[in-house]
Structure 1
Amino acid sequence: MSVKRRDHGRWLADVQPIRGQRFRKLFDTRAEALRYEAHIIANKALDPAWNPRAPDRRKLSELIGLWFDLHGHMLKDGERRKAKLDAICKRLRDPIGSTLDASVYAHDRRVRSQAGTTPKTLNNELGYLRAVYNELRGLGQIDYENPLKLVKPFRIDERELSWLTDEQVSVLLDAIRTGCENPHVEPVVLICLATGARWSEAEGLTSVRLKNACITFSKTKSSKVRTVPVSPELEAFIREHWKQYGPFTGAITSFRRALDRSGITLPKGQASHALRHTFASHFMQKGGNILTLQKILGHSSLAMTMRYAHLAPEHLAEAVRLSPLAGVTLSGHSKVKETKKS
Structure 2
Amino acid sequence: MSVDTSVMTDAAFATDDFVRAQLAGWQTELGAVRRLAPKTLEAYGRDLTQFMSFLADHMGGPVTLKSLRELRGADIRAFMAQRRSESLGSRSLARVLSALKSFFAYLERQGVVSVEALNVIRTPKIGRSLPKALTVLEARATIDTAGEMEERPWVGARDMAVIALCYGCGLRISEALALTGADLEADVLRVTGKGGKMRMVPLIAPVRRAIDLYRELSPFKLWPEEPLFRGVRGGVLSPRLIQLRMEQLRSVLGLPPSATPHALRHSFATHLLGKGGDLRSIQELLGHASLSTTQIYTAVDTDRLLESYAKAHPRG
SS in 1 for 2:94: helix
Change over 3 Å in CA distance of 1:217–1:125 after alignment to 2: same
SS in 1 for 2:120: coil
Instruction: Give the C-alpha shift of residue 116 in structure 1.
Output: 2.3
Q: Are the equivalent residues in 2 in contact too, given 1:63–1:97 (CA < 8 A)? A: no
**2:100 match:** 129
| One-letter code aligned to 2:174 | S
**1:334 match:** none
**2:271 match:** 282
Change over 3 Å in CA distance of 1:66–1:298 after alignment to 2: closer
**1:229 match:** 202
Q: Are the equivalent residues in 2 in contact too, given 1:67–1:132 (CA < 8 A)? A: yes
Aligned identity (percent) is 20
Q: Are residues 1:305 and 2:294 paired?
A: yes
Distance in 2 of aligned mates of 1:229 and 1:265: 29
SS in 1 for 2:131: coil
Structure possessing the higher relative contact order (Cα contacts under 8 Å, 6 or more residues apart): 2
Q: Are the equivalent residues in 2 in contact too, given 1:175–1:258 (CA < 8 A)? A: no
Q: Are residues 1:82 and 2:45 paired?
A: yes
Of 295, 310, 317, which aligns to 2:284? 295
Distance in 2 of aligned mates of 1:321 and 1:232: 33
TM-score by length of 1: 0.66
1:134-173 matched pairs, under 5 angstroms = 134-140=105-111, 142-173=112-143
Instruction: Give the C-alpha shift of residue 147 in structure 1.
Output: 3.2
Distance in 1 of aligned mates of 2:240 and 2:20: 36
Distance in 2 of aligned mates of 1:164 and 1:241: 25
TM-score by length of 2: 0.71
Distance in 1 of aligned mates of 2:304 and 2:31: 47
Q: Are the equivalent residues in 2 in contact too, given 1:196–1:277 (CA < 8 A)? A: yes
Q: Are the equivalent residues in 2 in contact too, given 1:291–1:302 (CA < 8 A)? A: yes
Q: Are the equivalent residues in 1 in contact too, given 2:139–2:167 (CA < 8 A)? A: no
| One-letter code aligned to 1:305 | T
Q: Are residues 1:316 and 2:287 paired?
A: no
Q: Are the equivalent residues in 2 in contact too, given 1:217–1:225 (CA < 8 A)? A: yes
Tell me, which stretches of 5 or more residues in structure 2 are unaligned?
1-15, 57-61, 223-227, 230-235
Distance in 1 of aligned mates of 2:282 and 2:167: 14
Distance in 1 of aligned mates of 2:165 and 2:195: 19
Distance in 2 of aligned mates of 1:214 and 1:296: 11
Distance in 2 of aligned mates of 1:317 and 1:73: 45
Instruction: Give the C-alpha shift of residue 283 in structure 1.
Output: 0.6
**1:197 match:** 171
Q: Return the structure number with greater helix share.
A: 2
Of 191, 211, 219, which aligns to 1:238? 211
**1:255 match:** 242
Query: Which structure is larger by alpha-carbon Rg, 1 or 2?
Result: 1
Change over 3 Å in CA distance of 1:315–1:80 after alignment to 2: closer
**1:273 match:** 262
Q: Are the equivalent residues in 2 in contact too, given 1:92–1:105 (CA < 8 A)? A: no
